[in-house]
Amino acid sequence: MPGPGPSAHQVLVYSGPGVSPLSLSHTILTLSLNLVPHYTVQRVSATLLAEEPWEPSCALLVIPGGRDLPFVEELSIKTKVTKRIAEYVSEGGRYLGVCAGAYFAASEVQFDIGGPKQVTGKRDLALFPGPCAGPTYPGFDYGSENGSRAVGLTLAGDKSLELLYYNGGGHFILPPSAGSDVKVLAQYQEPPTPEATVAVVQIAKGKGKVLLSGVHFEYPLEDPPARDAIAKLENPPAQEVIEEEEKKRTQWVAELLRGLGLTLPSDQVDPSGNLGNIEEDHIILHPTHPSPIFSFSHPKLPQLSASILSAPNIQAKLVKGPGDWETLRDGNDVIETGPVELLGSDIPAELMKRRRTKPEFPPVIEELSISDQAVPPQPPNFHALTKTLLVPGSTQYSPSWTPLFNMETYWEELDAVRKRQGRRTGVMRADELSPGKRGERAALGDLVLYAETITSTQTMIDRNPILLNGLPAPTVFTATYQLAGRGRGSNIWLSPTGCLQYSILLTLPQSMASKLVFIQYLAALAICEAVDEDGRLGVRIKWPNDVYANIEGVGGTEVGSGKKGLAKLAGILVNTNFVNGQWRVIVGCGINVLNALPTSSISQLHGLLTERAAREGSTRALPPPPTMEGTFARIMHAFETKWEQFLEDKGFESFMSEYHGRWLHSGQEVTLTTVEPHQRLRIMSITPDHGLLRCIPISTASSTVSSMYDRDMDQGGDDRTSTSSWARPSAQPQYVDLQPDGNSFDLMAGMIKRKV
């Protein structure tokens, strides 16, 4: 079997029988925080490892903590996948084993010899040439925290780490033949016996690298179970010591991953240019907890943010708490809300503290069990944590509250783009959906919810019906980081530094229900116009809900080669809910603005344009380099103007020419795989009635697509065929119209298949 290919980007974390749910969840989170967006971090089963060609795209294979014997049963005996893992490593792959994952990778396991939990025997993976023996410290008990403790490690160069979580891990016994292929990275500071010292090793195996650890370096020190293990110490350290050790732990994790040859995103990426004077930039750029949500509004409209929760349905559900805090228990989240002054006199200091300690993860004992799970374990449930929503009070906003997104800069950018287009700013507008248009609404972008770190802007609105029904429309929710971002279907990701993500709450009349599909097209047009007004950056629309770069210098092409590449820049998700006779629409977008390479971003496209201009000697003025605040402001303005036109026209017809000018697909030939035999199609357009992808068969002699379209009944829910009204009778070509929600468009392969 082959090793990793040159573009290997997947970090595969084994999640099958024997894996501890808690270890799995923290392993995924820790790897995501350090490796996204250069790599994708995802769970993998034994079946996939045995049956799929995963090696070429795998940059790192991980087996987290749990129990070694189920690993043997599943990976060595049932699927015999250990042979493939060993060959993958030998051919240049990487393996990370933590606790049980380290036992499993040794040539021999010596566990609790002479005790009731004794496990001994050879292991066929044998990435470490000697035994892994344990538990190093006494007291271990499966499914409990009885044997857990906080331990110290001695590192090379007289460095040390304190308070790392330990529970049943082993130590490595180096054979005389180990030689220089085995490098000791850490030793236990207080080993119970002289030979039980080696805690972490790195092994050179063929062309590959292996990292094995007896301690759980993936657990944050300020959350359970590490927090509880620290509390059991005879002399528990002060909070300041724990915070300093946590910072050292995260830095060491990054060093370990670099030692495996992985490329980490730059710690110096600065999304807004506001980090220069902040000492704790490492904590800010590596979030682990949802942060407070701020309610902001245009400086000329302070009443908007102050009254964001004033709707009767919200007020009826608010429960008075201590001080001036109130609590809202919604469908998905519990939210405490109050004026910003409740954080205390030093708001920046309190926010810095909360980045690592609040809200607290409760210790759920059943989740600490390492028994076999019938259902694959999930990442940490950030949704279960109480969120904080801060509304304006008497304290004036300071950019130090939001170091990754300067609201003062955003308002300036929003005012500037509106004035350039001859529109007033900071004023209420006529509400197109109110009776007689006599009501008022805010302009899009004038009322903003912002969180430095949140679960998902989309989920916070869509899954909380009280907020969904009561927040004013339009409201936009943006965040610098998402810990559980939502994409189409079941896609979940942790958003990387430099990604602009937001969700817009809108209202659409019931009469426009058949036009809901066009909202994703409007959002794509707004992004294109905002980030690439004159088209020189090569920003284009991929049907139905993505934005791509189509230009030299991306997707493996080079500037000056004459060949354009393709690279994804943005994705769009639209959720709809019918409430009180109207549609409540949430438009979610994620856009790569300042992401570090190799992720393509608007910033990269600007650099490519600058390079091309220099090569060609062009004197044409370049667009300004992108910023998070400026990009967000321009998108808000572009979407609002298009939304107003969409409501006035009651449809998308007036945007058809603009849309076709921005998209990638005119004349593209694709293969439709939802019929047998597969059919070759040529893309023509989207349909103005229901936004379907209109194609014509390349050979119309015998269409294999059965008619599924009744013009009197169709509401855009199915694919359809119809005879062209302009075709000659003898030819009788058919349109094949494909609906966006049931089809997956593989742009690179030129294939359309049924989405599952």
pLDDT band per the 50, 70, 90 thresholds, residue 91 = very high
Residue 557 has pLDDT above 60, yes or no: yes
| Closest C-alpha to 443, from 583, 644, 632, 589 | 644
Asked, colleague to colleague, whether 10-140+170-220+249-259 and 281-361+381-661 share their fold, the answer is: no
pLDDT at residue 367 above 70? no
Q: Where exactly are the structural domains of the chain?
A: 10-140+170-220+249-259, 281-361+381-661, 665-754
**Residue 541 φ then ψ, to 5°:** -95, 130
User: Which SS3 state, helix, strand or coil, does residue 629 take?
Assistant: helix
Q: Which helix (H) or strand (E) holds 109?
A: strand 106-111
Would you call 24 exposed, middle or buried from its count of C-beta atoms within 10 A (0-12, 13-18, 19+)?
buried
pLDDT in tens, 213-253: 999 999 999 888 899 999 999 999 999 999 999 999 999 99
Which DSSP state fits 404? T
- In degrees and rounded to multiples of 5, residue 145 shows phi and psi of -105, 15
Query: Which pLDDT value is given to residue 348?
Result: 85
pLDDT, tens digit, for every residue of 630-666? Answer: 999 999 999 999 999 999 999 999 999 999 999 998 8
Q: Is the pLDDT of residue 166 over 80?
A: yes
DSSP summary character for residue 263: P
**pLDDT score of 668 more than 90:** no
**pLDDT(64) > 90:** yes
Report whether pLDDT(494) > 60.
no
pLDDT at 726 over 80: no
Residue 369 has pLDDT above 50, yes or no: no
Q: Is the pLDDT of residue 491 over 70?
A: no
- Which CATH fold topology does 281-361+381-661 show? BirA Bifunctional Protein; domain 2 (3.30.930)
The confidence band for 366, taking pLDDT boundaries of 50, 70 and 90, is very low
CA distance 160 to 617: 55
Averaged pLDDT, 467-472? 96
Cα radius of gyration (the chain): 28
Structure tokens at 121: 């025997």
* CATH architecture entry for 10-140+170-220+249-259: 3-Layer(aba) Sandwich (3.40)
Coil/strand/helix, residue 318: coil
Please give the pLDDT value at position 48: 87
Q: Per-residue confidence at 29, pLDDT binned at 50, 70, 90?
A: confident
The mean pLDDT value of the chain amounts to 84
Please choose, from the candidates 637, 655, 638, the residue with its C-alpha nearest in 3D space to the C-alpha of residue 646.
655
Work out the pLDDT band at 699, boundaries 50, 70, 90: low
Q: What backbone phi and psi angles, to 5 degrees, belong to 40?
A: -100, 140
**Mean pLDDT across the stretch 489-502?**
66
277 pLDDT above the threshold of 50: no
Does the pLDDT value for residue 724 go beyond 80? no
Query: Pick from 150, 144, 146, 164: which is nearest to 368 by CA?
Result: 144
Give the CA-trace dihedral at 607, 609, 611, 613, to 10 degrees.
-150
**pLDDT, average across residues 418-428:** 95
Q: Among 224-233, 272-281, 329-338, whose mean pLDDT is lowest? A: 272-281
Higher-pLDDT residue of 384 and 464 is: 464
3-class state of residue 4 by DSSP: coil
**Mean of the pLDDT values across residues 479-483?**
87
CA 38 to centroid of chain Cα atoms: 12
- Main-chain phi, psi angles of 184, to 5 degrees: -80, 120
Q: What percent of the chain has pLDDT over 90?
A: 55
Q: Nearest Cα to 306, choosing from 277, 273, 331, 340?
A: 340
Q: What is the pTM of this model?
A: 0.69
Query: What whole-number distance in Å separates Cα of residue 110 and Cα of residue 108?
Result: 7
